[in-house]
Structure formats: structure tokens, C-alpha cells
Chains A and B, each alone.
Chain A
């Protein structure tokens, strides 16, 4: 039968605007979360991470927010640039699972000039 690909949510933003990418994670026992960026033809690139004992962490132009109550993670990108166009994945891990990441389905970010 025909293979149906995952429908990636798409977020389109204007250059210079702030972007917010959301992710719902599945395991309430997860204690480590990461955001990755994947450009076409490349492997995922680490952006920022956060542990479950924190609810916010900031990097350069990026902020990750964690809401454990509703199992929600978000990535905020300030002053979005054309080079930010990519697919963004959240991933979760928990101490009992070893070094095994469970990835979300991804969000396609398109930056319009």
C-alpha cells in the first residue's frame, strides 16, 4: 500500500519575529528534554536541553520552557532568521531508559523574508 508520511505541523514566521514551537511529551517519568534542529540532508543538531528540575532555560536566542503538569515543552526562538528554517524536534529521556531518546514528530519552521 501507499506509505503515508507524518504530517509535519508547519510554522511560518516573518524574519525578525519570535517563533514558538510546541511539543507534548509522552512519559511523565522523563527527566531530560532536548530540542534538535534538522536541516535538509543533515542529521539533527543539538539546540538546547533542560532537566526536569527546571522550568526554563535560556541559550543564545533560544529559550526552552517545560511544564511538567501538562507534559508540555516549548522552544522560543527570538528574532527568527532565514537560517532558522528547518525541522525542529523535541526529544525526551528518562533515567530508567538508559541513553535512549524518544523523539516527537517534528515541526517545520519556515521563515519568510
Chain B
């Protein structure tokens, strides 16, 4: 069974631009979560989607948004990029998103904002 797939692997953007990251969960998994990882803040929860609905949200500004499609694939978007948005963005999936389900992570998208 294929794991969580994230594309692209690396991205370089400039301040003010916007970016869209993509995540394909493990087949059969319907919950997709996004995390931001930085050296300064560690791993922080962004949001979770289940059945095309955002079910949980972390403490990030509205510039960070996401969506989920009917096939459970998910995208996240960051608008008006800031230098501090440089990070590794990780996607994780679980079958239903219930507490106690193991999150399986992708390898992430490394975003650099110049």
C-alpha cells in the first residue's frame, strides 16, 4: 500500500506570493491533517479535514487555508507569503481521524520563502 504522498518536495517562493501544496493520503484514509515544522516552533498543528470538511484548526492566521476533495486528497494554500512561513509542511492521514488512530506522515514539502 502506498504511503502518504506530498508534492512538490521542495518549493522556493518570494514574499507576497502564494503557494499550494498537495497531499494524497493512504488509500482508504479519509482524514488528512497538516502540520508545520520549523526549527523555532517545532511541529505545530495547522488543520484537519474529514469528508471534505475542516474539522479542527490550529492557531494559524487566515492566510493558511486548505481543502479536501471527494477522493480524500487535500491541498493547503498559503497566501501573501512571509519569511516566517519557511518551513517543512507535513501531511498525515488516518482512516477516520478518531483519537487513537495512528497518524501516518508523508515526507513533507520544504518551503523556502525569500
Contact = CB atoms under 8 A, between A and B. Distances in A.
B40 A34 contact: no
Given A3-B39, A99-B31, A41 B102 contact: no
B102 A49 contact: yes
A45 to B, nearest CB: 7
A105 B42 CA distance: 6
Contact of B33 (A6, A42, A100): A100
Chain A at the B interface: SS class: loop
Interface string B89-100: 010101001111
Contacts of A102: 45
A6 B40 CA distance: 5
Nearest to A30: B99
A32 B97 CA distance: 13
Interface in B6-48: 31, 33, 35, 39-45, 48
A43 B50 CA distance: 21
Contacts of A98: 48, 55-56, 97, 99
Interface of B: 4, 31, 33, 35, 39-45, 48, 50, 55-56, 58, 90, 92, 94, 97-108
Q: What are the 10 A-B residue pairs with the smallest beta carbon separation, nearest first?
A: A5-B39, A43-B105, A99-B97, A103-B43, A98-B56, A44-B105, A43-B107, A100-B45, A95-B99, A46-B102
Interface of A: 3-6, 31-32, 34, 36, 41-46, 49, 51, 89, 91, 93-95, 97-106
29 contacts: A3-B40, A4-B40, A5-B40, A6-B39, A6-B40, A6-B41, A6-B42, A31-B99, A34-B102, A36-B105, A43-B4, A43-B90, A43-B92, A43-B105, A43-B106, A43-B108, A44-B105, A45-B105, A46-B102, A49-B102, A97-B56, A99-B33, A99-B50, A99-B101, A100-B45, A101-B33, A101-B43, A102-B45, A106-B42
